[in-house]
Amino acid sequence: MIRYTGPVIDAHHHIWMRKNVAWLRDPPIIRAIGDFFGLRRDIPVEEWMHDVVPEGVTKSIHVTANWGPGCGLDETRWLQGVADKHSFPHGIVFQADLADADVESQIKANKQFPNVRGVRHQLHWDSAPLRQNVSRPDLCNTPEFRRGFALLEKYDLHFELQVFAAQAPYAVELIKAFPNVRFLLVHSGMLTDRTPAAIQQWRDALMKMAEFNNVHTKISGLNMFTPDWTIKNMRQSIRDSIQIFGIERTIYGSNFPLEKLHSSYANLIEAYRIVLAEYPEADQKRVFHDNAAAFYRV
């Protein structure tokens, strides 16, 4: 089996200065990812590049680090300045509240920056209070959200879809209503635990969403709820995602620096390389590079 050694596009990462990010400031906010003390510091682009460039990452997509309400444009402006100086990141997914009555002005303001490619409004919700990022599980089907979402096609932006498996029926309703908007399923549907029942529910959710050709999946953040991850765990998540979505709709992302709580970048990407080595080299290149280049236009 040949492990891929060519250029890599990391399609999901974050950088920040702690003072700008509400959830990283004092006092600490309890979050679903557990103890994140090691992240409550500046993580500048220089550190990111030090971690990833030796591993063959030549381009990257920055997904909003959620600076806080009303701060999405500030984050985009800062990221574009970083990109202009350091040539990373190559694409920006910005934060927006699509249910906000004034969201079109937010979109217009962010679109002035050349690296902007898409929008993230995190929709994940389940019965555990720490996993309730929005007020209700079906927020994506409210009139307010749909009104804002309709603007994505107008402004040629894709949507980073972040939901749990139980929310798949609501996500499918949104996907069906907007066939001309491209969706990227973040963290491949966020498998929360590895009991047989949870894995089956997650697979069923992915199969529902994969029926629509405008939906891709991003095999990022696979260990957010499994800090003691193993190659076996990674293999199950990656192979299942590929089996359901196909090689042509699967995109690699690291979710660094969140994954840095439990792994070095070198160890994490090596796990991906080991698993993906089971596929032809051309397919590995699609997942690690080509699919992201086409989807994000970088």
Residue 34, pLDDT > 70, answer no
* Domain count across the chain: 1
Whether residue 241 is contained in a domain is answered as yes
- Phi and psi at residue 4, to the nearest 5°: -65, 135
Return d(Cα 122, Cα 120) in angstroms, integer: 6
Q: Kindly state the percentage of the chain with pLDDT values over 90.
A: 83
Whether residue 3 is contained in a domain is answered as no
| Band of pLDDT at residue 226, cut at 50, 70 and 90 | confident
- Overall pTM surpassing 0.85 (yes/no): yes
Residue 99: what residue type? A
**For every residue of 184-230, which 3-state class applies, written as one string?**
EEHHHHCCCCCCHHHHHHHHHHHHHHHCCCCEEEEECCCCCCCCCCC
Residues ≥6 apart with Cβ < 8 Å to 61 = 9, 10, 11, 12, 13, 89, 90, 91, 92, 93, 117, 253, 292, 296, 298
133-192 pLDDT, tens digit each: 777 889 999 999 999 999 999 999 999 999 999 999 999 999 999 999 999 999 999 998
Mean pLDDT of all residues in the chain?
Answer: 94
DSSP, residue by residue, the chain: -PPP-S-EEEEEE--B-GGG-GGGSSSP---TT---GGGSS-B-HHHHHHHHGGGTEEEEEEE-----TT-HHHHHHHHHHHHHHH---SEEEEE--TTSTTHHHHHHHHHTSTTEEEEE------SSGGG--SSSTTGGGSHHHHHHHTHHHHTT-EEEE---GGGHHHHHHHHHH-TTS-EEEGGGG-----SHHHHHHHHHHHHHHHTSTTEEEEE--TTTT-TT--HHHHHHHHHHHHHHH-GGGEEE---BTGGGGT--HHHHHHHHHHHHTTS-HHHHHIIIIIHHHHHHT-
pLDDT value of position 227: 80
pLDDT value of position 63: 98
The enclosing domain of 230 has a CATH number of: 3.20.20.140
Whether residue 259 is contained in a domain is answered as yes
**Cross-sheet strand order for the sheet of 250-252:** 8-13, 57-63, 91-95, 116-120, 158-161, 183-185, 215-219, 250-252
Structural domain boundaries enclosing 193? 8-296
Tell the residue number behind the tokens 């920055």, with chain if given. Answer: 62
Whether residue 127 is contained in a domain is answered as yes
Whether residue 2 is contained in a domain is answered as no
Q: Kindly state the percentage of the chain with pLDDT values over 70.
A: 98
Return d(Cα 185, Cα 202) in angstroms, integer: 12
Residue 246, pLDDT > 80, answer yes
pLDDT value of position 32: 67
Whether residue 274 is contained in a domain is answered as yes
Higher pLDDT, 230 or 176: 176
Return d(Cα 186, Cα 37) in angstroms, integer: 24
Residue 280: what residue type? P
Arithmetic mean of pLDDT, 227-231? 86
Give the lowest-confidence range in 24-38, 76-90, 107-121, 258-272.
24-38
76-119 pLDDT, tens digit each: 999 999 999 999 999 999 999 999 999 999 999 999 999 999 99
Return d(Cα 255, Cα 39) in angstroms, integer: 13
